[in-house]
Amino acid sequence: MRLLLSALALCAAVLGRAADQEFPLAAAQEVRARGGLPNFFRKAQTTGAELKVAYLGGSITAQNGWRVQTLAHFKRAYPQASFAEINAAIGGTGSDLGVFRVRQDVLSKGPDLLFVEFAVNDGGADPRRIIRCMEGIVRQTWQANPGTDICFVYTLTEALSPPMLEGRLPRSASAMERVADHYGIPSIVLGMEVAKLAKAGRLLWKAPLPKTAAEKAALGDKFVFAADGVHPHDSTGQVLYAEAVVRSLPALAIANATPAPHVTGPALDPANWERATLVPITAAKLSAGLAPADMAADAYAKGWAKRLPAMVRLTKPGQSLEFRFKGTHCAVYDVVGPAGGMVAVTLDGKALKPVPRIDAYCTYPRLSTFVVGADLPEGEHVVRLELLADPIDKAAVLAKNKNKVDKPERFAPLEFHPGGLLLVGELIP
């Protein structure tokens, strides 16, 4: 997973630098209080109050780092209240999945505060898409829970750091700032101290933690950030991230705002994804003999029950599913891995390029998505997905990332394991 995300971050940085000239970059400032977090702080100061803090993000948030450390800070700072965590972080995913799963993974649990962290995994995305997704997260949140306060946080990687060394935010964070400005959402740049150390020549982006006194002495005044330039060590880089949040909280507590329900108001982009919805795959029409997996009893499916709303395991060529929807965007939320096969995709009667459900990083199964249709004309659309018998040279696929087929029996199957439909619109029964 770390290799996958490091590669994604590098690609994002290359694409991002090419496009930075086309999208104005915001000035780097550790905290912008805007409307603050008035509802959260009022409740936190109430004796006996029970608060839920949600963390929606990627692998940097999934680590036992700034997420765990900031929740611990809240517990220490407000002992009169109790705090619970909603961990909604999934490695290798950005706001283009977060906007679809925020209802299921976050809002259904009634958060008081929602941190959103996608700046790294959105590093190579189109700023317009980032704005639409982030605005969709905001509008869905306040429509479902008007009392929930939101805070955007921006993490950093070595590949995405050049603008920060010049006092500007990376392109993805700059796009997110447009949404934060429009809705008065506070934002915290977690990587300001990281950038300062890097600019001063004191940061080691990629290095193991020193284990001996001699190794520590050899470092001198150097600061070891991460093992891979992306995922901070819990005891070093992640501490800098958590300290940035803690330093910023006083400003967010005294922002010029009083506790009140949030109102979405006019949209920044009328085409934002507030209509994004995650539909269980079982809502599709299944071919004869195909049945949903039991998410509680099926040994394989139950391992994904916390994230996927359902699962259908297509294991024989010719098995298919079909559905209709009204909207502008459609993607599939599934599990890729060693057993992945080739999927034929048909949209509105037109055969699209088949989609393999294995990639160069698939030495293990993981959650993933693939887009069926984007920026479609508003209206009804018909989708058909079918498992093909087409063989895949999996050894060649893995070799692209210097991986190998370890046990042939793990890679022999050709299967498709979808769990959800990601629609900007609505399913047509």
Same domain, 308 and 389: yes
Same domain, 249 and 295: no
- Asked if residue 17 has pLDDT above 70, the reply is no
Judge whether 52 lies within some domain: yes
Per-residue 3-state assignment (H helix, E strand, C coil) for the chain: CHHHHHHHHHHHHHHHHHHHCCCCCCECCCEECCCCCHHHHHHHCCCCCEEEEEEEECHHHHCCCHHHHHHHHHHHHCCCCEEEEEEEECCCCCHHHHHHHHHHHCHHHCCCEEEEECCCCCCCCCHHHHHHHHHHHHHHHHHHCCCCEEEEEECCCCCCCHHHHCCECCHHHHHHHHHHHHHCCCEEECCHHHHHHHHCCCEEEECCCCCCHHHHHHHCCCEEEECCCCCECCCCHHHHHHHHHHHHHHHHHCCCCCCCCCCCCCCCCCCCCCCEEEEEHHHCEECCCCCECCCCCCCCHHHHCCCCCCCECECCCCCEEEEEEEEEEEEEEEEECCCECEEEEEECCEECCCEECCCCCCCCCEEEEEEEECCCCCCEEEEEEEECCCCCCHHHHHHCCCCCCCCHHHHCCCEEEEEEEEEEEEEEC
Asked if 225 and 205 touch (Cβ cutoff 8 Å), the reply is: yes
Same domain, 107 and 233: yes
Same domain, 9 and 154: yes
pLDDT at 257: 76
For the chain, give the mean pLDDT.
94
Q: What is the distance between the alpha carbons of residues 229 and 245, in angstroms, rounded to a whole number?
A: 21
Judge whether 105 lies within some domain: yes
- From the centroid of its chain, how far is CA 11? 17
Same domain, 247 and 292: no
Same domain, 248 and 317: no
Judge whether 121 lies within some domain: yes
- Asked if residue 164 has pLDDT above 70, the reply is yes
Expressed in angstroms, the distance from the first to the final Cα of the chain is 37
Q: What is the distance between the alpha carbons of residues 243 and 225, in angstroms, rounded to a whole number?
A: 14
Same domain, 136 and 183: yes
Asked if 170 and 160 touch (Cβ cutoff 8 Å), the reply is: yes
For the residues 219-248, what does the mean pLDDT come to?
Answer: 97
Judge whether 259 lies within some domain: no
Among candidate residues 211, 238, 253, the one where a domain is terminated: 253
Q: List pLDDT tens digits, range 320-369.
A: 999 999 999 999 999 999 999 999 999 999 999 999 999 999 999 999 99
**Whose CA is closest to 183, among 152, 210, 219?**
152
| Confidence band of 317 (pLDDT split at 50, 70, 90) | very high
Same domain, 325 and 214: no
Total domain count, the chain: 2
Among candidate residues 221, 253, 285, the one where a domain is terminated: 253
Angle, alpha carbons 137-190-220 (nearest 5°):
155
- Asked if residue 86 has pLDDT above 50, the reply is yes
pLDDT at 255: 78
Same domain, 323 and 223: no
- Asked if residue 120 has pLDDT above 60, the reply is yes
For the residues 11-29, what does the mean pLDDT come to?
Answer: 67
pLDDT at 1: 46
Rg for the chain, CA atoms, rounded: 22
For the residues 216-238, what does the mean pLDDT come to?
Answer: 96
For the residues 72-78, what does the mean pLDDT come to?
Answer: 98
Same domain, 176 and 219: yes
CATH number at residue 331: 2.60.120.260
Six token digits for residue 275: 């209509």
| Confidence band of 57 (pLDDT split at 50, 70, 90) | very high
pLDDT at 176: 98
| Confidence band of 21 (pLDDT split at 50, 70, 90) | low
**pTM assigned to the model:** 0.92
Judge whether 268 lies within some domain: no
Q: CB-based burial of residue 349 (10 Å sphere; 0-12 exposed, 13-18 middle, 19+ buried)?
A: exposed
| Confidence band of 382 (pLDDT split at 50, 70, 90) | very high
pLDDT at 16: 44
For the residues 60-69, what does the mean pLDDT come to?
Answer: 98
- Work out the widest C-alpha separation in the chain, in whole angstroms: 67
- Asked if residue 15 has pLDDT above 90, the reply is no
Give percent above pLDDT 90 in the chain.
93
Same domain, 303 and 227: no
Q: What is the distance between the alpha carbons of residues 272 and 13, in angstroms, rounded to a whole number?
A: 25
Q: What is the distance between the alpha carbons of residues 321 and 283, in angstroms, rounded to a whole number?
A: 10
Range of the domain at 347: 276-428
- Asked if residue 88 has pLDDT above 70, the reply is yes
Give percent above pLDDT 70 in the chain.
95
- Asked if residue 3 has pLDDT above 70, the reply is no
Same domain, 308 and 417: yes
Judge whether 280 lies within some domain: yes
Judge whether 311 lies within some domain: yes
| Crossing angle between the packed helical segments 237-253 and 66-77, to the nearest 10 degrees | 40
CATH number at residue 11: 3.40.50.1110
Judge whether 249 lies within some domain: yes
For the residues 394-406, what does the mean pLDDT come to?
Answer: 96
Asked if 183 and 139 touch (Cβ cutoff 8 Å), the reply is: no
- Identity of the amino acid at 36: G
